[in-house]
Amino acid sequence: MKQHFAAKITTLLQQAPFVGHLSRQKFVGQFILGLIKSRNVQFGEVAQHLNDAAKPASNETRIQDFFREVDLNYVLLARLLLSLLPAQGKLRLCLDRTEWDFGQCQVNILLVTVGTGEVHVPLYWHLLDNRSGNSNAADRIAVLEKCVALLGKDRIGLVVGDREFVGHAWFKWLKDNGLNFVMRLPKHHCLTHADGRRQAVADLGLVPGQVRRFAHVQVDGVWGQVWVKAVAADAFVFLFATAGLNHLEQLYAKRWTIEQCFQNLKGRGFNL
């Protein structure tokens, strides 16, 4: 059974050869199975499941040699991951930032996942050169440009992000590129109505559980739709979008798939 799955993975790798040489493609197939069986990314743990015919120490040396010598093509890797998703239909991009501690080094990562329904895989990421700082519009646009180049605009049905991903340049870029989005906003952002009147969500007079919808308002200098729900005293779910008002709450809820991805990578699966 193990050899059967390794062969299938090798065949898949040949369709998107992000590593050359058949021997290395076979190794990657074995390594992926080792990741799944060990539920870990530490080389010493994966080595226990890499090749039963070799000693674990030899397997670990082989893993070390591969990652030291091979220059991986991450664009082809992204295409390989995309081949696991449906070939037709719109895909959803979720954008978020996370941190990993590597020894005493704090790694700040801006990540985009892609998928449909409940299935999402990492597509592209960028290591931010600040310590725990937020991304800026240039960071986000650069990452999304890579995703657009991989997918094409027509395949992207929605871009979803949390309260960090705000600002005029960012919203304008999404809208100018025809990418429908739903972003949650901090409560201090104001609405600007068609008559020029500015209004804070705290001044809408909502009681907990009450919802207000605005079909055509401006936020951060960009026109779109707004959906606001009061969840407690002075606490709101404040969504800004171009995806249509009817299902904004349900569309934004799909952002949770990237949180699940982080949980699986960090603790519930690969213990990265």
pLDDT at 8 over 70: no
* Token pair in block for residue 228: 């606001």
pLDDT at 9: 64
- For the segment 113-138, the average pLDDT, to the nearest whole number, is 86
Distance, CA of 202 to chain centre: 31
Section 118-141 average pLDDT: 87
At residue 104, the pLDDT reads 80
pLDDT at 20 over 80: no
Question: Measuring CA to CA, which residue among 84, 73, 153 is closest to residue 119?
Answer: 84
Mean pLDDT score of the chain, rounded to an integer? 87
At 7 the pLDDT is 67
The region that residue 234 occupies, defined by phi over 0 for left and psi between -120 and 50 for alpha, beta otherwise, is left
pLDDT in tens, 186-239: 999 999 999 999 999 999 999 999 999 999 999 999 999 999 999 998 899 999
Structure tokens at 61: 């040396």
pLDDT band at 14 (very low <50, low <70, confident <90, very high): low
What average pLDDT does the segment 69-78 reach?
82
What digits encode the pLDDT tens for the residues 24-33?
A: 878 888 888 8
Please state, for a pLDDT cut of 70, what percent of the chain lies above it.
91
Entry pTM: 0.84
Residue 5 scores a pLDDT above 70: no
Alpha helices in 70-167 (DSSP H): 74-82, 137-151
pLDDT at 25: 79
Tokens of 3: 């050899």
Closest CA to 249 of 257, 237, 259, 258: 237
What is Dmax (Cα atoms) for the chain?
A: 75
CA dihedral (7, 8, 11, 13) in degrees, to 10, reads -100
